[in-house]
Chains A and B, each alone.
Chain A
Amino acid sequence: IVLTQSPATLSLSPGDRATLSCRASQTVSIYLAWYQHKPGQAPRLLIYDTSNRATGIPARFSGSGSGTDFTLTISSLEPEDFAVYYCQQRSNWPPITFGQGTRLEIK
């Protein structure tokens, strides 16, 4: 299953709302997760199974969608949110597959 993320780069300011998209080449039901990755650090699980926030993840992060189209929304960007975001499917694995990433940068 191929995951395609858009946009490749998103330029926003702190306080803005961010909307990141992930489209699957075939249905993954609800089995989609989102990760945040900063350079030199461990990736961090944000959302799993479309809309479940992982432990310790702030409420400003939310996920939605089903089937082939999914969205990660950050309601009001904090300075620490600027990073690369990846979606990942577990509907039909192995293999586990990731999207190519969306870079969220400060405008």
Chain B
Amino acid sequence: IQLVESGGGVVQPGRSLRLSCVASGFTLSNYGMYWLRQAPGKGLEWVAVIWYDGSNEYYTDSVKGRFTISRDNSKNTLYLQMNSLRTEDTAVYFCARDLETFGGIIATLDFWGPGTLVTVSS
């Protein structure tokens, strides 16, 4: 089982970036998926969650209206579209899988990727 994030980089405030997370070793369509982040010197912060079939999604308050989580199960890929980026969005972004399968989602994250760094700076 592997999750590999990509798409990070340096971007100016107000600009956009799309992160990808490619899953292998399991069937993505059976699992709820998450994005989380860790700002420099800080702890882990949940960002967004999407149900296994894309039917529900939730966001932390600080990114609502700016970030969109989505998935393409046919490509085994999870996405995070980040618009109107702010300096406080600077962080390592992780994707992670829910422990439960076949339609369940229990907010327990059993596999994570190593992360991709997003730096928002002018």
| Chain A residues at the B interface, C-beta cutoff of 8 Å | 33, 35, 37, 40-45, 48-49, 54-55, 86, 88, 90, 93-101
- Partner of B49 from the list A42, A43, A94 (CB cut-off 8 Å) is A94
Considering the complex, give the chain B residue whose CB is closest to the CB of A3.
Answer: B43
Does B17 reach chain A (CB closer than 8 Å)?
Answer: no
- Partner of A41 from the list B34, B58, B114 (CB cut-off 8 Å) is B114
Does B82 reach chain A (CB closer than 8 Å)?
Answer: no
Q: Tell me the complex Cα distance, A42–B99, Å.
A: 15
Q: Tell me the complex Cα distance, A51–B3, Å.
A: 26
Q: Tell me the complex Cα distance, A55–B107, Å.
A: 17
Q: Tell me the complex Cα distance, A40–B107, Å.
A: 23
Main SS of the interface on chain B?
strand
Considering the complex, give the chain A residue whose CB is closest to the CB of B96.
Answer: A43
Known: A94-B58, A99-B43. A43 touches B112 (CB 8 A): yes
Q: Is the CB of A98 within 8 A of B112?
A: no
Q: Is the CB of B114 within 8 A of A40?
A: yes
Q: Is the CB of B108 within 8 A of A33?
A: yes
| Chain B residues at the A interface, C-beta cutoff of 8 Å | 3, 34, 43-46, 49, 58-61, 94, 96, 99, 106-115
Q: Tell me the complex Cα distance, A55–B58, Å.
A: 27
Main SS of the interface on chain A?
loop
Q: Is the CB of A94 within 8 A of B46?
A: yes
Q: Tell me the complex Cα distance, A86–B108, Å.
A: 13
Q: Is the CB of B43 within 8 A of A90?
A: no
Considering the complex, give the chain B residue whose CB is closest to the CB of A100.
Answer: B43
Nearest Cβ on chain A to B66's Cβ, whole angstroms: 16
Q: Tell me the complex Cα distance, A42–B4, Å.
A: 10
Nearest Cβ on chain A to B27's Cβ, whole angstroms: 17
Known: A90-B107, A96-B107. A44 touches B112 (CB 8 A): yes
Q: Is the CB of B107 within 8 A of A42?
A: no
Q: Tell me the complex Cα distance, A40–B45, Å.
A: 16
- Partner of B60 from the list A40, A44, A95, A99 (CB cut-off 8 Å) is A95
- Partner of A86 from the list B43, B58, B59, B99 (CB cut-off 8 Å) is B43
Nearest Cβ on chain A to B84's Cβ, whole angstroms: 20
Nearest Cβ on chain A to B42's Cβ, whole angstroms: 8
